[in-house]
């Protein structure tokens, strides 16, 4: 019955909201706990490692819930898509602030490179979500370094910007490379990956269109740090 359906989706939505807010609070407590330990005694204790792991998990699930909500709104045609000229230095600072506590607690070098005064035409919240997710992901798989770069797209005939997140970890497995580059989509139960993050990034990229060009994502291995390299190109 349609009323039952309505109730269920309403409950699902409000529950996702509730879980997201709750996880947000948990994550910030875990960040505080980790920050208290920085610079005091040995960095690598089992308790700290577990706290960092808990933070990673809380943020991962939190990101997914935020993405689910956005995807639902996009699917139902009421996401307030609102691209504007956005200062990328602010986007970088704000995204790094979300990744820094985890990076510091795990002793990972987090650096970043962008030209002064570079602006990107984008829906801030959606792209922010993609970048934070990519950073968290890179922090989990890297050995020691993660780098975020923003640059104007210099390819011939291209306009817009490229956002990259690179690490020095083992790189993406083959199936993800294929999935991330559009070969296949969907849930892979063998690997435990729901593909949500990539799917979300892909949807967000495609929503950004200008001058007949459509945004896209690209996954590669190698790059400057030798590990995985996630790119988001926006026209």
Partner 1 sequence: MTIRSLPPPDLSKTSFLIVEDFEGMRAILRDILNRAGTGRIAEASSAVNAISMLERTRYDVILCDLHLGQGKNGQDILEEARHRGLLAPHAVWLMVSSEKAAEMVTGTVESRPDDYLIKPITETLLFTRLIRQIAKKQALAPIEAAMREHEYLKALRLAEIQLEDKRAQTPHIWDLKRLKAELAMHSGEHGMAKAIYEEALNLRELPWARLGLAKIHYNEGRLNDAHRELKAITDGNRAYLEAHDWLARTLDKLGDLEGAQAMLERALKTSPRAPLRQLHLGEVALKRGELTAAAMAFQSSIDLARKTPLKSMQPYLALSQTRLEQNDTNAALSTLSALSIDMHDTPAAKLLANAMQIPVRLKSGERNLAQNLAQDLAKLLCSEAQHLPTEAVFNLAPHLLELGDKATANALLGSLASNHHEHPEHLERAQAIYTAAGLESEGREVLQSAARIATDIMNRGVKLSREGNLDEAIELTREARAQMPNNARLLLNHAFLLIAWMEKNGRESSRVQEVRECIQIARKLKPEEKRAGELLARLELLGNDFEV
Nearer to partner 1, 162 or 234 (CB): 234
On whether the CB atoms of residues 91 and 127 are closer than 8 A, the answer is yes
**Could you identify the residue written with the tokens 């956002």?**
163
Nearer to partner 1, 25 or 158 (CB): 25
> Chain-centre distance of CA 207, in angstroms?
16
Smallest distance from partner 1 to CB 121, Å: 6
Among 216, 52, 72, 215, which Cα is nearest to 136's?
52
Instruction: Give the torsion through C-alpha atoms of 227, 204, 234, 179, to 10 deg.
Output: 40
Smallest distance from partner 1 to CB 96, Å: 5
Q: What is the DSSP letter of 208?
A: -
Q: Which residues bind partner 1 (CB under 8 A)?
A: 17, 20-21, 24-25, 27-28, 69-70, 77-85, 87, 90, 92-94, 96-98, 100, 109-113, 117, 121, 125, 209-210
> CA-to-CA distance for 178 and 160, rounded, in angstroms?
25
Smallest distance from partner 1 to CB 206, Å: 14
User: DSSP H helical segments within 171-224, as ranges?
Assistant: 174-180, 196-207
Among 171, 149, 170, which Cα is nearest to 161's?
149
Among 154, 151, 170, 186, which Cα is nearest to 223's?
170
């Amino acid at each position: 019955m349609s009323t039952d359906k309505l109730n269920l989706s309403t409950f699902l939505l409000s529950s996702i909201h509730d879980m997201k807010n709750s996880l947000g609070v948990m994550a910030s407590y875990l960040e505080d706990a980790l920050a208290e330990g920085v610079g005091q005694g040995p960095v690598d204790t089992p308790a700290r490692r577990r706290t960092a792991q808990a933070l990673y998990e809380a943020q991962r699930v939190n990101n997914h819930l935020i993405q689910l909500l956005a995807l639902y709104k996009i699917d139902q045609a009421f996401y307030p898509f609102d691209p504007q000229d956005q200062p990328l230095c602010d986007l970088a600072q704000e995204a790094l602030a979300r990744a820094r506590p985890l990076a510091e607690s795990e002793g990972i070098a987090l650096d970043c490179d962008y030209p002064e005064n570079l602006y990107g035409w984008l829906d801030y919240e959606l792209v922010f979500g993609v970048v934070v997710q990519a950073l968290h992901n890179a922090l989990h798989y890297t050995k020691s370094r993660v780098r975020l770069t923003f640059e104007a797209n210099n390819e011939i005939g291209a306009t817009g910007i490229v956002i990259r997140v690179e690490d020095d970890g083992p790189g993406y497995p083959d199936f993800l490379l294929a999935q991330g580059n559009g070969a296949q989509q969907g849930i892979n139960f063998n690997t435990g990956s729901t593909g949500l993050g990539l799917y979300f990034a892909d949807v967000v990229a495609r929503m950004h269109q200008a001058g007949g060009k459509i945004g896209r994502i690209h996954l590669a291995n190698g790059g400057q740090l030798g590990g995985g390299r996630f790119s988001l190109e926006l026209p």
